[in-house]
Structures are given as C-alpha cells and as structure tokens.
A and B are shown apart, each in its own frame.
Chain A
C-alpha cells in the first residue's frame, strides 16, 4: 500500500512545490528589473552556499554543524526518496544510502530541536517551533519506510497500521519540506535563499570579495522612481533577498539601534518587507517587535506605500531613521541579506519625494547644498584650522604623492587636533603631500545616508571634477566616511582613486621606516573599530599594527573588529536623532570601560565626537594620529640635523 501512497504523496507535494515556486517567482518579479547573471549565478550558487554562506554560519559552530547535518541529510534524503519511493527504484544500495541520509538528518534535527527547547530571544517562534518536529517526522518516516527497501525488514512489516502512520508522517514531512518551501513555510528560506545566493544584487561579495558602496540612483531617468515607496519599487532580486530570511535574529542581536531601544529591528524590517511583498499584516510575526511598537498594528501590500507619514502603514518612518548604517546586521546575516541598502532605498523616497528627513536632517541637507558642509559654516573657512601650518595646496603643486583629504572635520575644533597631529606625522615622514583647501567639498556621505541622492551626486560630481584636475598617487584621509565614499562610491560616478585611511598610511610609513617613534606612555589602550573602516572596508589590522608599533598592546573589547559596536554616529543618526531607551555611544563607552583601558584609540571624527559626548568619568578618547604624533621623536629639528634620513639610507645600501 505504501508503494502506491508514497509516490502520490511525493509527486503531489513536488507538484505543489513547483506551482508555489512559480507563484513566488512571479511575486518577486513584481519588483523593478535588475541585471543578473542568470546562468552564471545559478552555477556559482553551490559554491557561494558551501563556502561564503557557511563561512558566516560557521561563526556559531553549534548551528553550523547542526545545519550541515540537517540540510545535507535532507537534500540527500529528498533526492534519494524521490528516486526510491517516487520512481520505485528499490535497490538495496539506494535504500541504505537513504537510510544513512535520513539518519543523519534525524540527528541534525535533534540538535535543531534541542536549540528550540529554550530558544534565545532573537529567534522567531511560531511556525519555526514546528520545524524541528517536521524535520524529525520527515526523517523518521522515510527511515522506517525505507527499511523494507534496504531489506532489513520484510515488505509487509507493521501492516496497514504502520503504513497509515507512515503516510501521515510522510505527508506531514513533505508538506513542510517540499511545498511548504515555496508556499511561505519556514523552509522557504532554503528555496528563496538558494536563488538569492544565485542572483544576489552584490555578486562581488562572494569568493572573498567586498561590496559595500551604495548603488547610485539614476537621476537622469525621469521615470525611474526616486527610492522605494512601495514594495514593488525594490528591484526584484532585493525582494527575493527579503524572502531568504531565516529569522535567526543574528542581525537583531548585533543591531545597536535595537539594543538602544530605538524602534528598529532589522529582522522585523525584513519580515515586514516580506509581508509587503505578499500583502497582509505583521500579526503573524513571531519574533521581537520594534522596541516600543506592538505587533499587529501595521499592514501593507505590494502596491501600497510602505511608510505613511500621517498614520500607520507597513513601517514607521522613525524605524528607517533609527539605522546608523553600521552594517552589523549585514555582516552577521547568514543569508547575506542587504538590510542597509533597503533602508537607504526607503529613506531616499522619504527625502527626495516627501521632503520628510526628520529633525535636523532638512537643515543639514540645505547646508550641504548652500555651503558644502553639514554645519553651514562659511565655505571660506575650510582651511582656517591650518592657517599656521603652511600646507601646500593642490592648486599650487598640481602633482603630488599624497593628496590629504581633510573632510568636514576641518570645521570642528576637536577634530582639528587630529588633523594637526596627522599633518605633524606627514611632515615628520617628509611626505610629499598637499590639500585641496577651499576646493574640497563634503564627500556627500551624510547626504547619501540621509537619502538625498541628488545632493550626494551633486557634491560627488564636483569633487570628481576637482580631483580630475590634479595628479596624485593616493588620497589619504582621517575620516573613514570620506574614505569609504571616495573609494567605493565615487567609482560609479566616474571617480576611481586609490584611497587610504590614515591608519593604513601610517602603517605603511612605519613599516617603510619613515618615522622614528618612541613608545606610548599614556596608560592602557583599547581600540574602537569604526564601522566605515572595519566592516565597510575590512581594515582591522593596520590600526592595530600602528598601535603596536608605538608600544601599545591593545586591550580588545569583547565586541571588536567585525563585531565592533557602532558609536551611533553613522548614517546621519545623530542628525535624525530618533529617541530610544539609551544612547548608542553610552553603550559603546560601557564596552570600552569593561576593558578598564585609560585611553580609547579611534580612527574616525564621528566616533571621536560621539564617544567624547559621553558624560561622566570615562577614558580619554584619542585619534590614532594623535597617539602617533605624541611619540614622534625628531621633533622640529629635521633641518638642523642636516639630512640624516639619506645618510641612513646610504648605509643600508
């Protein structure tokens, strides 16, 4: 009897799965077109899955091993089951293989079930609590049903009672694992996830690559939407990406805004996008809500606006403005979903179409347009900080080794100390450098994160035109935000440069023995990784190497390097200023205090400002450039000593 029921069940489930897959695919395709490498993506998918995705999952060994067992067992079992039970290839060999696969899957599923006994809060409950049972049921049912095939028991073992039980078990298993996969069950993540990996919007992220720059809006095309108003304004592969979410909540655990009690939860945001994609309310969401926003009050549909400024729609605007664009969620996401892209896309609509950048946002954008800096300072004062430093100007020198990109920190009295320290270092190393002076403009970072793509492109194009007039080998900057934008986001607009963060450049100077340095004497030091240097650009080593070179052994924080917690200063968050339960910099300062370090080394003007804004007793905040400048040895005497450097060089020869 089983031999008739099982194929029917299997093929029915498969057929339903195929229909569901088609429906789901059409649902994604409601999004805007995107260029993908259809075949190449599919061919690259297994590798992306096994290597890149596993690399992220393997940060948690328990779940990595569990997933390998369960998923590997399932894929094998599914293929073999179709062969054995679907097509009736009752070979003993296949039978034993199927037994092994289901056994493996069963063991894996046991571990899944174990994790679900007392799940951490980041995990979604609801249907996800059912999944381990479904997995066990599938594995157990097929195991028992395959025993006769392997010849371990006789074909009529157990009689019709067992056959009935097994059919129920198989029915449950295949409905969850086959057609549940394409009809919106928890297993959807496998199906959508695989295709998402194949047709990912940032294919460069795989095979060790890095792609973090935001994608430009086509402002010349008047018909293209300015950002995302409704779910169908996303590109179709973004929608596919949302569907790949496995609701593991790693993003939620990493999100600084969520931890600060601001109304953002990256996981919920992605799930809301899925709700928008299919239409409905968020009532079925079984994870943590946006802090302070109860579940069940929001709803949307593919063609309905995501944000309603005068009421409730799918997502509230303040959720989108809470993000610091620190990319911690993207870094943690095992499905490689691009949360930040989605958030900025939706912000673009709010800023460019609705003119609804909250709080100081509008003022900052107006300032950027009128004065090229977010503070609205007179543009003529951009070089005042260096009035006594006698810096060479690009307009005078035309061609230099290093173009020192000063950034808007030029207007900030605190940051001017950093800038002066770095100039001291450059001069000590006798670097051939110059600044743009009054020709420099804001890099456009803040404008872009606030969704004002038009102002970003305006600033970027003018900067690219300015830079185009001069010859230089590299751009060096103390500001990771400018660094990121110049390096990764100007390319799309035609500006390709070699850009270095000042920590990287100092590391090169030190390893090139251009600097004679003493040792740091100011007490223990910890180092805070800026998001835009670390996660955005993968530079974790150079700052640490610089600190090591001046005799500092960094007391690492628990959350450092790629897990570094944001200072709260990115993405225009201090400007949009969405209230939460606590402040992100306060939380970061608590991390810093845990190391009992007396100094926290930073490499970013934003981080400096945010961390120095923490009130009460706290470690001193110092830029790496300041720490290095403090221990420079040959101070103010390079001319007097004749030319020691060339002599030393001769000796080396």
Chain B
C-alpha cells in the first residue's frame, strides 16, 4: 500500500452528518473559535496533519478533509537491492545447521562471513538437507541453494551427508567451505568433511580478515592465526549477518547422481529422556525451589507437569528437601537453562551468579522487593502454592486441548 493520502468519502460524509454517532470524532479539531471575551482563539496544534514521514504537514490549499487523525497504513517493506551474481568467479559453500528447519543466528553469521569472503565476484552456495521452513534465505545472503531431497539424509546420517558434500566438491571445487562449529551438527559434519577432503580445517574461527583466519586454540587461552584454509568451522558471531542486500537463491543441482551406500552408523531414533535425569548444567528448562516453597509434593508435581528439570536453592538443599546435586548457584551448579523458573527463591548473590547464563528468568515470590524479582523477566507476586496449582491446571488444560485438536 502506498503512503499517498487519499480522500475518504465515508469519513467526509460522517463529518457532515450531525446525527451520525461518530460525527464528533470525525470533526477536525477546532482550530479557531470565539473566546468568552469575544477574542478569537486559535489552537495552532490543531492545524495540519501528520505526514507519511512522521512529520507534521499543514495543507493550506484547503484540501484537508476528514479530521486530523493519523491515517494508519502498514508501512511498506523497504525493498533491499538485489545482489546478482550471474557468472560466479568462485564459490563459497555454506552448510547451515538449520536447527528446526530455520537459519539459526549462528547460520546467519556464517552466511555473513561467507559474503565477506565472496566479495562481489563469488557466489555463496547454501547446502540444505531435506525440507526447511526458512523464508528469509534471500535476505540472509544465499546466492545459490542446493537442496537435497530428505530421502537418505533424514535423522542422523553424517556419512551420507559427507558423501553428498564430497560430490559437490568435485563439481564446484569451492574456494571455501564454511560450517558452523556448533554442537548441533555443524561441528561434526565440518570435521568429517575436512577429514574426507584431506584438508586441515581452521576451527573455532571468530574472525577472517584479509584471508587470515583467527580461531581459538587449545583450552581457549590462545588463538591460532593462519591463512584461512579451505574448510573453515566458524564460531558464533564470526561476522555480521547480511542485512543490506537481497539475494537470488537460485537453485543449484548436483550433476552426478548420488551413490547410495550402506550406513555404518544406524540411527535408532531419539531416546526419551526424563527431564529429572538431565544434568542440571545442560537442562534447558528448570523449575527451581527455595525457602518459600512449603508444599514440596506440589512442587514435584508441577515439575512433572511442566516437564521441567528440578533445581533448588542452597537453603532448600540444606533443609533436605532436595539433593545436593540439584543445588543451583556459585557453590552448586552453574546452569544454562533457556527458561529458569525460581519458586520462592529470594536470590542470594551466589544463586544469581549460578543462573547468570539463563535466558529467561521467571520468579514466583511473595516478596516484591527481593533480588530475584530484579533479575527476572517475569515476576508473579503471590503464594507459590496457589500459582503452581493454577499453572499445573493450565498446562493440563493445554495438553488436553492439544490432544483434542490432534484427534
């Protein structure tokens, strides 16, 4: 939709129709009127309207109609310039992790790095195995897309993937292979590929500048600086993601047919892991109880209902309600959960230290002044038992609803 101001005949009609219920609202704000002493009063603020750029405009041509309400139009998406590489001088191949079928932040950084390496002559090729749900491949710098059919690559099939990538190597001989050095697949696939290609990769790379890559070495106390090799496994934030150009996402096909092979590693599927058994340091959703929890049976019930890993503050552990291995904090375990729900934990400094790496913290507490509330992204002040009970019921209702929907 454009930003051009158009007449609105309906509003004009309402403005004329004194009997219309919206008549008053459609009137232009009075600009001038007779004051009590017969002096003309003017309201300079009532004059004009807000233009499309957010600036006030005064239209003295008299064409302004229908009041001075700001017209709300959906602001148009700015079309970024399209970056076209017709005849690439070379290729940079990126194999994104595609966690959940979408580009992760890590993948986007990697594509940014790829673009830095590709410059204006090279093309960035993204290799995706199976289906994906990403609809912003163009805005993230994918010039060429090689998408493999899911068949044969579903589940855990690193060996098949490496074979496919090796075929691509024969076809394109890319200048660089870029993979995310992540635990979600890229780190492994990249190393397998490097081993297959016989290339010594640069790993944990956090910067590539002027053809020189810097990556963490050893225990992270040193950097390994070298000419960027052909295979680069890059860390998070290795470069800024692409943000100023659009790209073609032109489909690319493999010239040779992939040879089927018998996998030496067979994926038997994911194993159901009891959230309570997940090591605290790794759990992504922790329900943690402290001094304010009075009904521990209810607490355990809530953890089970939410599917959360249980944690505890030092006091709860000292009081014997939870095992020592469940203690969160400086003297217990440093957790990295994405969501950390602190029930009745006031937030001693040692405890807050232990949850420093958590993304979202939810606090349920009686005391609105405690330190945990200051740290929390969402705090509910109230009796923990009642809130937990309500939460259990809410989740149960959600689960039942979900089951009905599915049925």
A residues neighboring B (CB under 8 Å): 359-360, 413, 574, 577, 579, 583, 613, 615
Q: Assess the B315–A577 pair: CB atoms within 8 A.
A: no
Q: Assess the A613–B314 pair: CB atoms within 8 A.
A: yes
CB-CB < 8 A to B291: which residues of A? Answer: 615
Provide a sorted-by-A list of 10 A–B residue pairs whose CB atoms are within 8 angstroms.
A359-B324, A360-B331, A413-B349, A574-B331, A577-B324, A579-B324, A583-B318, A613-B314, A615-B291, A615-B315
What separation, in Å, do the CA atoms of A583 and B316 have in the docked complex? Answer: 12
- The yes or no answer to B269 lying at the interface (CB within 8 A) is no
Q: Which residue of the partner chain A has the closest CB to B325?
A: A359
In B282-333, which residues have CB < 8 Å from any A CB? 291, 314-315, 318, 320, 324, 331
Would you list the 7 A-B pairs with minimal beta carbon distance, nearest first? A615-B315, A583-B318, A615-B291, A577-B324, A359-B324, A579-B320, A413-B349
CB-CB < 8 A to A359: which residues of B? Answer: 324
What separation, in Å, do the CA atoms of A161 and B314 have in the docked complex? Answer: 73
What separation, in Å, do the CA atoms of A359 and B320 have in the docked complex? Answer: 15
What separation, in Å, do the CA atoms of A359 and B331 have in the docked complex? Answer: 11
New A-B pairs, 8, CB < 8 Å, besides A360-B331, A577-B324, A583-B318? A359-B324, A413-B349, A574-B331, A579-B320, A579-B324, A613-B314, A615-B291, A615-B315
Which of A574, A583, A615 is the most central at the interface, judged by chain B CB atoms within 10 Å of its CB? A615
CB-CB < 8 A to B314: which residues of A? Answer: 613
What separation, in Å, do the CA atoms of A574 and B327 have in the docked complex? Answer: 14
Q: Which residue of the partner chain A has the closest CB to B319?
A: A583
Q: How many residues of B contact A (CB 8 A)?
A: 8
CB-CB < 8 A to A613: which residues of B? Answer: 314
CB-CB < 8 A to A413: which residues of B? Answer: 349
What separation, in Å, do the CA atoms of A359 and B317 have in the docked complex? Answer: 13
Measured CB to CB, the closest approach of chain A to B215, in angstroms, equals: 22
Q: Which residue of the partner chain B has the closest CB to A575?
A: B331
What separation, in Å, do the CA atoms of A583 and B315 have in the docked complex? Answer: 10
CB-CB < 8 A to A615: which residues of B? Answer: 291, 315
What separation, in Å, do the CA atoms of A304 and B318 have in the docked complex? Answer: 35
Give per-residue flags for B84-112: 1 if the beta carbon is below 8 A from chain A beta carbons, else 0. Answer: 00000000000000000000000000000
Q: Which residue of the partner chain B has the closest CB to A615?
A: B315
What separation, in Å, do the CA atoms of A339 and B9 have in the docked complex? Answer: 99
CB-CB < 8 A to B315: which residues of A? Answer: 615
Measured CB to CB, the closest approach of chain A to B176, in angstroms, equals: 36
What separation, in Å, do the CA atoms of A577 and B331 have in the docked complex? Answer: 11
Measured CB to CB, the closest approach of chain B to A384, in angstroms, equals: 16
CB-CB < 8 A to A574: which residues of B? Answer: 331
What separation, in Å, do the CA atoms of A359 and B315 have in the docked complex? Answer: 17
Measured CB to CB, the closest approach of chain A to B290, in angstroms, equals: 9
CB-CB < 8 A to B320: which residues of A? Answer: 579
Measured CB to CB, the closest approach of chain B to A648, in angstroms, equals: 44
What separation, in Å, do the CA atoms of A413 and B350 have in the docked complex? Answer: 10
What separation, in Å, do the CA atoms of A615 and B314 have in the docked complex? Answer: 10
What separation, in Å, do the CA atoms of A360 and B331 have in the docked complex? Answer: 9
Measured CB to CB, the closest approach of chain B to A602, in angstroms, equals: 19
Q: Which residue of the partner chain A has the closest CB to B290?
A: A615
Measured CB to CB, the closest approach of chain B to A391, in angstroms, equals: 25
Measured CB to CB, the closest approach of chain B to A69, in angstroms, equals: 48
Which of B318, B320, B324, B349 is the most central at the interface, judged by chain A CB atoms within 10 Å of its CB? B318
What separation, in Å, do the CA atoms of A173 and B194 have in the docked complex? Answer: 90
Q: Which residue of the partner chain B has the closest CB to A414?
A: B349
CB-CB < 8 A to B349: which residues of A? Answer: 413
What separation, in Å, do the CA atoms of A583 and B319 have in the docked complex? Answer: 8
CB-CB < 8 A to A579: which residues of B? Answer: 320, 324
Measured CB to CB, the closest approach of chain A to B219, in angstroms, equals: 11
Which of B314, B331, B349 is the most central at the interface, judged by chain A CB atoms within 10 Å of its CB? B331
CB-CB < 8 A to A577: which residues of B? Answer: 324
Q: Which residue of the partner chain B has the closest CB to A413?
A: B349
Q: Which residue of the partner chain B has the closest CB to A579?
A: B320
Q: Which residue of the partner chain A has the closest CB to B323?
A: A579
CB-CB < 8 A to A360: which residues of B? Answer: 331
What separation, in Å, do the CA atoms of A574 and B324 have in the docked complex? Answer: 12
